[in-house]
Amino acid sequence: MTQPRIGIYAGTFNPVHTGHITFALQAMEAAELEAVYFLPERQPWRPKQQVEHFAHRVAMLKQASLPHPQFHVMELDDVRFTVQRTLPKLQQHFAGSQLVFLFGSDIVSGLPNWTHIEQLLQQSELVIGLRQQDDLETVKQQIEGWAVQPKVLSIFTSYAPHISSSSVRDALQRRTQTQGLLKSVQRYSDHHWLYVSLAEPKR
C-alpha cells in the first residue's frame, strides 16, 4: 500500500498571499501530495517586525484555504518550530505518511545550520520553490554542499517568486491594491483593522 504523501508548509504567513497559495499548489503537483498542511509559527524564528497576532494569521490562512479542499491549517503549541520537538509531533500525527516539507529558496543557505537538521533531511523529502533573487543552479550547488543530503528533493521556479508579505502588508496599511493580495485577506484585514499601525516606509 502506498504511503500517503503529506506536504508541510511552515511559515509566519504575515499575511498569507497568492505566492504562498500558488507555491503549495505547485508542490502538490510536483511532489504528488495528497494534502498540504500550513503550519503558522506563533513566534517567527527570524526577527521580524509588525507580526500580527497568531489568531488573526490563522484566520486569514483558513479563509485563503477554503477554495482548496486539499489545504488545511494546523495549529501547534510550539512557540518556535524545531526539528527536535516539532518533527516527532508531526510524525506521530501523520503516522504512516511520508512527510514532504515545503520551503522557499531563501532558507537554503541557513537550513544546514538548524539544530538536528540531519534528522529532518534523512527522514523527510523537501520541495524548494525558487524566489525572485535565486536561480536554479546556485540553489542546487548550495544543497550539494550540505553534509547530509535530503531523502528526496524537488526544486522549481515559483509562479509568483516576487510577491512578498511586506508588499502586501504595506498595501493593507494604505488600503490600496497590490499584486499578491488575496481578496479574503483584504476583507478580513479591513474588518479587523490589521496592519494599520505600520510605520510609514522610509523614502
Tell me if 99 sits within 8 A of 91, measured CB to CB. Answer: yes
Residue 157: strand, helix, or coil: strand
pLDDT tens for the chain, residues 1 to 203: 689 999 999 999 999 999 999 999 999 999 999 999 999 999 887 666 679 999 999 999 999 999 999 999 999 999 889 999 999 999 999 999 999 999 999 999 999 999 999 999 999 999 999 988 899 999 999 999 999 999 999 999 988 888 999 999 999 999 999 999 999 999 999 999 999 865 544 43
All domains of the chain, ordered by start, with CATH? 5-161 (3.40.50.620)
Q: What is the pTM of this model?
A: 0.93
What pLDDT score was predicted for residue 151? 92
Residue 57: strand, helix, or coil: helix
> Residues 150, 154, 156, 159: what is their CA dihedral angle, to the nearest 10 degrees?
-110
What pLDDT score was predicted for residue 1? 65
> Residues 123, 128, 134, 140: what is their CA dihedral angle, to the nearest 10 degrees?
50
CA 48/CA 174 separation, integer angstroms: 20
